[in-house]
Copies of this chain bind each other. A is one copy, B any other.
């Protein structure tokens, strides 16, 4: 296990006098172990004392199991007529009793849904609500809500995480390259999305990538005026004169990037250039404030004011950014006018100003993922970000 992560979890356990923490969501297992489950439900039992143990479905492939931790298999998916949830409950309970933890207090995330899917499919298994209630009652001390602190674990990306996120962003760069290359070639929005997604998938066949998937969404012309409300691709043909917004989540081995680029087909009009300068300038204004200790609302305000000063004050209806990395959208404080959060070293935040206008008939957003460093920040998605996909890189 990552030593920095181990330290953080140990502190959480001590602060709350817990006997054990349980982790079961795929994004939690990526965060704790760099392990992105293939299917079913894996559960990490992390005790106050002694070694943690990971329960995995007996059918999980051996080579994706994390190293340096005790792994115990339980018969999820076996053809024996047993309910795997009952088996999981029993083995977790037995482990708590065996370790003398049953008099203490346990904690785990009990929110419903909210989890990244396993890599194998688009579904999650239906963890029964009753199982949660029963797990809460296993220990004499009951269950303690440490939700806010568990969420804070997501806030810090360790050096191990950053290496993994760099790989994700390297693959996302291929998608951006395809976007700029193909945007002017007469595709529909949906077809351009398919080409971009293909480029990401094709890395599955190369090098050390075990799983790579992208969720690109394209909006062009008037459709882009909605890009501040929602993102999706339609059958609309992309034509000269269009601004085209690419919004995209990319998952590589459980680690996520969240990228937006906007391109113009043909030459930008004066109005389009003005929108671009407002958004690019807003992003740069936000970048300049990124450092440990900065107030998130101040960063949002820097971008929001820049956009307002450029005359687009009513055209930026969403928050400036959120945390990302273990999921498409990590939990935790966001960059918004209502945020009370403070930037800390190791955070990865999106910086995604945009302007959208039915009157102007279009929309434009630029989104990058930025790591907060001791001295300021580092852009993980340092790809071209202008309207033509040129080579300049802002903010470095």
Report A's interface with B, CB cutoff 8 A.
38-39, 59-61, 77-79, 81, 110-117, 119-129, 131-132, 187-191, 193-194, 197-198, 201-202, 204-207, 209-211, 213, 215, 217, 226, 229-235, 249, 251, 317-319, 327-329, 331, 336-338
Contacts and interface: CB of A to CB of B under 8 A. Distances in A.
A119 to B, nearest CB: 7
Contacts of A197: 197-198, 201
A204 B193 contact: yes
A49 to B, nearest CB: 28
Contact of A235 (B39, B205, B229, B329): B205
Interchain residue pairs A-B with the least CB separation, the first 3 = A114-B126, A191-B205, A190-B204
Given A38-B232, A187-B205, A205-B187, A127 B111 contact: yes
A61 B226 contact: yes
Given A77-B318, A79-B337, A190 B215 contact: no
30 contacts: A59-B230, A61-B229, A79-B318, A79-B319, A110-B112, A111-B127, A111-B129, A112-B126, A112-B127, A113-B124, A113-B127, A115-B126, A116-B122, A117-B123, A121-B249, A122-B328, A123-B327, A123-B329, A124-B124, A129-B132, A188-B205, A189-B205, A190-B204, A190-B209, A193-B201, A194-B201, A197-B198, A207-B235, A209-B235, A211-B232
A301 to B, nearest CB: 13
Contacts of A111: 112, 126-129
A121 B194 contact: no
A76 to B, nearest CB: 11
Contacts of A78: 317
B317 A79 contact: yes
Contacts of A123: 114-117, 327-329
A124 B128 contact: no
Contact of A231 (B120, B122, B211): B120
A206 B336 CA distance: 38
Contact of A198 (B113, B201, B251): B201
A108 to B, nearest CB: 11
Contacts of A210: 234
A336 B79 contact: yes
A74 to B, nearest CB: 14
Nearest to A191: B205
A245 B107 CA distance: 41
Contacts of A337: 79, 81
B122 A213 contact: yes
A128 B116 contact: no
Contacts of A226: 61
Nearest to A61: B230
A39 B229 CA distance: 11
Contacts of A234: 210
B205 A122 contact: no
A125 B328 CA distance: 11
